[in-house]
Structure 1
Amino acid sequence: KQVQEFFGDYYAINRDLVSLNVPSCAPLMRGNWDQKLFDRITSGVLAVLLAMKRRPVIRYQGKSTLCERLASNVKDCIKQDSGLFDFRRNEPCLLVILDRREDPMTPLLTQWTYQAMIHDLFGINNNRVVMGEPKAGASGEKEKDEIVLSMDADPFFNKNMYANWGDLCQRLKQFVDEFKKKSDQTSNIQSIDEMKNFMRDYPEFRKMSGNVSKHVNLVSEIGDKISERDLLNISVLEQEMACYDSHTAHYEKLVAILQNPKAQPMDCLRLVMLYALRYEGNPKNSLPELRRLLEAKGGPADKLDLILKYGGAKERHTGMFHKEGMSKIVTNLTRGFKDVNNVYTQHEPLLKGILEKIASNRLSTEQFPFVPEFTPQGGSKWKPKQVFIFILGGATFEEALFVNAFNDPSNTNNSANAMQDGGGGVGVAQAANLVGLRRKEKEDVHCVLGGTSMLNAADFLREVDAIYA
């Protein structure tokens, strides 16, 4: 017999995604130091490293004081408890600590893959999703329907969590047809042997029945939300503003949406925030007029200044918006005509570029310096086998999609098309293509993504508001 210590100060969401379930980092980000919160984040990062059995080389977002402080604290803790990190087989591992403020755009975008959509529209809390209006329970108190989503216990979710909206609807139909076929078979029992077979298979049949019902209800609710909020049209403009400059066209489309009675105030707020981030330095910026229209819509126009304080040009240092030549602009403008599938999948989070540079050993030491004493041996030729990217301020499921595609670019069966039958989304196949890594360049690099929390747009807006409250 022996006693073993397990380090569980984190919550494993997917096979390559973890969260610390820290509800807010606002005290740290606004300068009101909270040592207890800081220690909780540090212990969570250390727990993931211990679970991976890795003593890492550490890098951090160079212009972020908070990232630098966390990186230094992780280093000190590893040195203090060096015995815990003395692993016999210690493959090269890299810990990269990022600041959410470098990419405030990704959490604002509408999501179009199954897991990401569920979190965006309803919220996923410890694999549980609460849906619908409260209903009277056995005790008389109102209770909401709660759905459990687990990639380990739910084969349909495991297979389709990265599927885009169009593919998801098709696969759900196939799933329902398969269940209906089995159900029809059970209604024609005519012999003792058939009865025995039915009783043998009944537990699996009953489990499948519950699974079908769960996903049909969930997808139905998602479809209602998409229609109710006109998210297809809103998402097209989101993607356009996230990916390229076209001020006049974007302004006209944005005004049209703000004047559309179907558009909801919070969706309009997200759009105007994206406009503010994209055209912050544009001399033709029409933010005052958009602010007026947002107020008329009933949206909280006072929140617009907060997004620029949080992640405006002065706060960013790694280039969320890339300068584009005329040929690139023309390519983007015509992309919708040549390949309609791409209009919902154009955006690439900042994380994508960081992953590419890590895999090809091109990550800037100026933008992402090493922590002293935790620099690699071998200089520029050193290359990690394991990468743990941790985002202070929260990660998103869009970024998790890119990490999954990075880890398994051959997994192209999960999502072939971005838009089918009026749906849209980023698929694993397209994310793999966007990552664009040659196998010889990537080799055996494996990445785990972590964050203080998992953000959706509503969580992100509350966090920004809390920082400057």
Structure 2
Amino acid sequence: MSLVQAVKDYVSKMITESEPGYKIMLMDKETTSFVSVVLGMSEVMRQEVYMFERIDQTSSGENMSYLKCLVFIRPTRENIELLTRELQKPRYGAYYIYFSNVISKSDVKLLAEADEHEVVRDIQELYADYQALAPHLFTLNMPVHSQGLKWANGALQRTCQSVAGVLFSLQFLPYIRYQNNSEMARSLAENIRQTILKEGSLYSNIGAEGSMLLLIVDRRDDPVTPLLQQWTYEAMVHELLGVNNGRVSLAHVSGVTDDLKEVVMSPTQDEFYSQCMYLNYGEIGQTIKDLMEDYQRKLSKQQKVESINDMKHFVESYPQFKKMSGTVTKHVTVVGELSRLVGTHNLLGISECQQELVCGSDHSENLQRIYQLVTDPKVREMDAVILVMLYALRHEGHPNNDVRGLVNSLRKRSVADHHIKLLSSLLDYGGARARQSDLFGTGVQDVASIRKRLFKGLKGVDNVYTQHKPLLIETLMEVVKGRLREGAFPYCGNPPASPPVRPQNIVVFVVGGLTYEESAAVHQFNINNPGVRVIVGGSSIHNSTSFLCSVDLAMEGIPRKTLRI
């Protein structure tokens, strides 16, 4: 039950089922990302794939009829038109066409009519219509999914196709439940249900139906998690550097070499990263130190070339040695930049304040600490704004709420008006009136009783609060205990006569996007709950910047309910 393996198997199927010989892969922008995050292009090329092309960027070039063409595209209207033109003037000797989802009979007819040269050898549907970032994690990589609080044009269909693709690829025929106060979640649930009913023949085994659940939730129910400073390696990289299709730009880092200006940070293509992505900041520092020491030991051995046998051994081990050298250089550079940002911008102090704010109960102490940080010139503008946002969410109904005073402090440091207005938008988007959960009710505890986690390894990292747990994990616990309230999460369609007490396989989709913190929490949840397997996906993978952009877009044109600040 691995999404990464499912996509890999589909790619392998495309390559091995075609005739032997050199091939090219013709993909669209999205399927290119689907493949590239799970397989390095060099790995695909070792399987007789000669080169890669984008169907939306091809031009009438030379005839290469000696090559076979593997087409892997989404079944969109634009792609069908582009493929039709390609078949009318074919550049390759044979075409094996694979769609990432269900294709209509009318579109198949259009392709057949265009194939006047009879170059199409096969047309198949595969269901890799999502970006698999980890065995348990997928995303649509779709930052714009809503207009106001409704689905944007085409977004509902796109989301339905991708989530259904996950279910089809894993052969999951689930019960469907959705967040009751979210119209977007309800409409998605109903569309997926209709798709499953229509395409039921795609399931080869429906015997385990009662043990599977698709749960659709809305980001609006937990606006806190995307705003918190992250401390696992994967989440830190995305929050502070940004990850795009498994790649990270380091072009801004002082003194970085050309080959490190963009690096691959994908667990499917970097063994060290896959082993360390869920470690916290201090642990990754120690792990990098151990990696460097191991590299230095091997380097010293390689330098002792005194005989023919030594030379032979050096030549045989050189590829692995060079790969290790690249791994060390890359991760030392990345962790070094993370460390610089943490120290320069006082992110440890900010994170401690954030954690005390969302998990603690002392309003006056929270307020005093936020005032200190908001007025500190060393604190970045957006970090100050996010602290005020978290305060506004956490103490929205407190009788001594002082959001106006904090906003005045932001204005004194010349924070942009747009960011001030965004605070009001956030309260309308995910404030108490927009949520159906008691987001802070179970998390309230005395700060003095919260044990600080000691971070090992990096000098200067003493302790940081990391006790916050995403609402998603609390919801999953209710699911596996059979306590998820039907009033809050009704079934789509008629409720089952005998609902599963403990689903064995759960797919969660977060309308509005999820975070790497939630991914790490689900990974740990799977470890802690043997017999239950959770896969989680979302419209996109958020850091604080992308989340606030999505809030801004979602609330554009929506009348304000909260008091203007």
* TM-score w.r.t. length of structure 1: 0.86
Pair 1:20–1:102, CA change in 2 (3 A): same
**Matching residue of 2:471:** 350
Say which of 176, 180, 199 aligns to 2:315. Answer: 199
Higher relative contact order (CA 8 A, sep 6+): 1
Aligned to 1:414: none
Q: Paired residue for 1:283, among 399, 408, 412?
A: 399
> Does the 8 A contact of 2:359 with 2:445 survive in 1?
no
Q: Which whole-Å deviations, capped at 9, do the CAs of 1:388-428 have from their partners, x for residues lacking one?
A: 0000000111111111011113xxxxxxxxxxxxxxxxxxx
The answer to whether the 8 Å contact 1:134/1:143 transfers is: no
Residue identity matched to 1:36: G
Name the SS for the 2:200 alignment partner.
coil
Q: Label 1:297 to 1:336 Cα distance change in 2 as closer, same or farther (>3 A).
A: farther
- The gaps in structure 1 that reach 5 residues or longer are 410-441
Cα distance between partner residues in 2 of 1:69 and 1:269: 34
Distance 2:293 2:256 in 1: 32
The answer (yes or no) to whether the contact 1:78–1:85 under 8 Å persists in 2 is no
- Give the C-alpha shift of residue 38 in structure 1: 1.1
Q: Is the 8 A contact 1:111 1:398 kept in 2?
A: yes
What is the match of residue 553 of structure 2? 466
What's 2:169 paired with?
51
* TM-score between both structures, scaled by the size of structure 2: 0.72
Uncovered stretches (5+) of structure 2, i.e. residues with no partner: 1-16, 18-121, 456-462, 557-565
1:136-170: CA deviations, max 9, x gaps? Answer: 999xxx99811102213212101100000001000
Q: Match for residue 181 of structure 1?
A: 297
Structure 1 residues 197-236: aligned runs within 5 Å: 197-236=313-352
Give the letter aligned to residue 6 of structure 1.
L
Aligned counterpart for 1:272 among listed residues 365, 388, 391: 388
Tell me: CA distance 1:135–1:161, structure 2 relative to 1, closer, same or farther (3 Å): closer
Task: Indicate the structure with greater helix content.
Answer: 1
Would the aligned equivalents of 2:149 and 2:184 in 1 still touch at CA under 8 Å?
A: no
Larger radius of gyration: 2
Counterpart of 2:321 in structure 1: which amino acid? F
Q: Read off the aligned partner of 1:333 and give its amino acid letter.
A: A
Q: Give, in angstroms, the shift of residue 360 of structure 1.
A: 1.2
Task: Say which of 93, 103, 112 aligns to 2:231.
Answer: 112
Assess if the C-alpha contact under 8 Å between 2:250 and 2:256 holds in 1: no
Structure with greater strand share of residues:
2
| Equivalent position amino acid for 1:165 in 2 | Y
Which amino acid in 2 is paired with 1:178? D
Note the aligned Cα RMSD (angstroms). Answer: 2.3
Tell me: CA distance 1:254–1:445, structure 2 relative to 1, closer, same or farther (3 Å): same
Q: CA deviation at 1:72?
A: 0.6
CA shift, 1:443, in A, is 4.7
Residues 75-132 of structure 1: CA deviation (Å, up to 9, x unaligned)? 1111111111352554521000000000000000000000000011111111111123
* Residue pair 2:145, 2:152 contacting (<8 A) in 1 also: no
Structure 2 vs 1, CA of residues 143 and 25 (structure 1 numbering), >3 Å: closer, same or farther? farther
Q: Provide closer, same or farther for how the CA distance between residues 144 and 468 of structure 1 changes in structure 2, counting only shifts above 3 A.
A: farther
Partner of 1:389: 508
Cα pair distance change 1:137/1:403, threshold 3 Å: closer
Secondary structure of 1:132's aligned partner: coil
Structure 2: distance between partners of 1:238 and 1:84: 47
1:87 aligns with 2:174: no
Q: How does 1:318-337 map to 2 (within 5 A)?
A: 318-322=437-441, 329-330=445-446, 332-336=447-451
Aligned runs of 1:415-454 on 2, under 5 Å? 442-454=529-541
What SS does the corresponding residue of 2:341 show, helix, strand or coil? helix
1:251-308 Cα deviation digits (max 9, x unpaired): 1000100121100110001100000001111110011110010112232322211110
Distance 1:191 1:348, change over 3 A: same
CA distance in 2, matches of 1:449, 1:314: 26
Over 4 Å off, 4+ runs? 1-4, 134-138, 339-343
The answer to which of 459-468 and 282-291 deviates more is 459-468
Cα distance, 1:134–1:322 mapped onto 2, change above 3 Å: closer
